[in-house]
Structure 1
């Protein structure tokens, strides 16, 4: 049966390298390969989760996809148009379609602007609505995220962390985007508040037909919200799968180790469960060796792993893995 799902975003061979700073007396031509030849797609209306250790490049990937960073190479196809090489003027129509919810809800909000001004700013830039129409829209959006009209004249410091994140979400929604990058959007919140924000994001997605790229450390929360999940290691995606398949039958040794690290609330089951501990240090993204990047920490590594970098390929239907074991 043909797949009728429409791709909103398609990333092809995307790279983002950061040159090392050159000192006064020494020139350094080396680069940090934060994102290195990554390809994947996100269907319209779905949530694509992205997980991995700190420093694996997942936030850089998200910000490059949103064109907050200029890509070093590759294509970012949004609604059929490659936006990777567009200049600032050409990108303007796409800015309103691609919004972002930041990790820290306090530092991402201007402390000198009240909530009404914060949410109004993107509408003033990207829409032709009158001031009165914008105010109606602000009140409508505030109600969607669980805040009130009385909050309009308050400043960010007058709200809790969860409320500030709701304000950040309201700002992102104000100009009716199609795609929202959630970059560690819940990691700075209390666990009880995280669940509320996740449920709200799911309700908003259903109501407004939104598409999410959800970047997070919390593997349990990513499982709850995501339709498909990509696992990233040292600048590359090593596995992509439907959410449930990834958790029930992970293929890549790195994914297996990540999932085994999820805390088990039952102490008896926790004692009897087998833990896959990742040994060794994360290799430097500056001077990468040949072959598979995980091989120096992989208990199943073979000689070929040191020679050939495995391609991300389909193993079982939509389940893809970059590993020589398959």
Structure 2
């Protein structure tokens, strides 16, 4: 886990990403509100974990941050510069500074290119280095991620899932970025390989001074790697806290339910613990509930919860929660 640093690298202000749904005639009918007004900050050198149910908007938020998706509204500020509306040549330097590690290592690598070509492509696009310099850097990158120099001449199908993900990480590091979006980078890997990849990411962060946004479903792994954690529900962040603080003292009822779902290894302890079950299904992001978006599934909901949307408020130092009853 990275050391604490209060210098802000990336922040959003009321960020929105809506996907329009059109009718047969091409007229906008509805919109999927995948990211719907999010304000938060990521500090230099930290790993900010992002958790929540499938469909809550985690990956969309990450991809909007690095401008893979065009934001619908709000602001994205990277290293003090507003990059929300930058385009073309003005945006390119920021693409170099922000890279992504994809979830599926099987579909993320071009099967028609060997490892050398896969890693060389971004380097050729963003740097003016000579071919010999790039060759040396490719070998060095492969060594950093635990691969051999000779692997550069092989194709993706010749590697296991864990090895493919290492190649994907090497590609992301090829242009020497400052910020990495880790979009569920271990969910497609065998459990035996997951810890290896996470440990490698931590070592690379320490060595290269990287900042991570780590999107994941595995709550135990998120606690291990993250400095701070944000909990996302239906397009909103409902809680942010330091990693241990969030797990030891969750405030939002949704966070409590997520944490209670973590498997417990001790059978007796598992039987004695009271699991908090979330009732109902995740509402559609095309038709979000009014007020607090979690009130339709919350066991503590009061009338005001359906009428007013709670702001994200700092309840204790560094611990933010959006809830009327906490």
Deviations 1:181-231 (A, max 9, x none): 000100000111000000000000000000000000000000000000000
Partners of 1:174 and 1:319 lie apart in 2 by 36
Q: Which residue of 1 aligns with 2:56?
A: 56
Q: Which residue of 1 aligns with 2:20?
A: 19
Q: 1:128 to 1:28 in 2, by over 3 A?
A: closer
Q: Which residue of 2 aligns with 1:247?
A: 247
Q: Which residue of 1 aligns with 2:35?
A: 35
User: Counterpart of 1:323 in 2: which secondary structure?
Assistant: coil
Q: Which residue of 2 aligns with 1:281?
A: 281
User: Counterpart of 1:138 in 2: which secondary structure?
Assistant: helix
* 1:71-220 correspondence to structure 2 within 5 Å: 71-220=71-220
RMSD: 1.1
Q: CA deviation at 1:28?
A: 4.2
Q: CA deviation at 1:281?
A: 1.6
Q: CA deviation at 1:80?
A: 0.7
User: Counterpart of 1:20 in 2: which secondary structure?
Assistant: strand
Q: CA deviation at 1:89?
A: 2.0
Q: Contact between 2:289 and 2:296, CA under 8 Å: does it hold in 1? A: no
Q: Which residue of 2 aligns with 1:9?
A: 10
Q: CA deviation at 1:283?
A: 1.1
User: Counterpart of 1:188 in 2: which secondary structure?
Assistant: coil
Q: Which deviates the most, 291-300 or 83-92?
A: 83-92
Partners of 2:290 and 2:257 lie apart in 1 by 22
Q: CA deviation at 1:290?
A: 1.5
Partners of 1:38 and 1:323 lie apart in 2 by 15
Q: CA deviation at 1:27?
A: 3.9
Partners of 2:142 and 2:44 lie apart in 1 by 25
User: Counterpart of 2:284 in 1: which secondary structure?
Assistant: coil
Deviations 1:54-97 (A, max 9, x none): 00000000000010000000111001111111112211111110
User: Counterpart of 1:297 in 2: which secondary structure?
Assistant: coil
User: Counterpart of 2:296 in 1: which secondary structure?
Assistant: helix
Partners of 1:179 and 1:27 lie apart in 2 by 38
Give 5+ residue unaligned stretches, structure 1.
none
Q: Which residue of 2 aligns with 1:266?
A: 266
User: Counterpart of 2:22 in 1: which secondary structure?
Assistant: coil
User: Counterpart of 1:295 in 2: which secondary structure?
Assistant: coil
Partners of 1:138 and 1:202 lie apart in 2 by 20
Partners of 1:264 and 1:255 lie apart in 2 by 17
Give 5+ residue unaligned stretches, structure 2.
none
TM-score normalized with structure 2 length: 0.97
Q: CA deviation at 1:4?
A: 6.7
Q: Which residue of 2 aligns with 1:238?
A: 238
Partners of 1:113 and 1:277 lie apart in 2 by 47
* 1:61-72 correspondence to structure 2 within 5 Å: 61-72=61-72
**Off by >3 Å, runs of 4+ in structure 1:** none
TM-score normalized with structure 1 length: 0.97
Kindly tell me the number of residue pairs found equivalent between the two proteins. Answer: 323
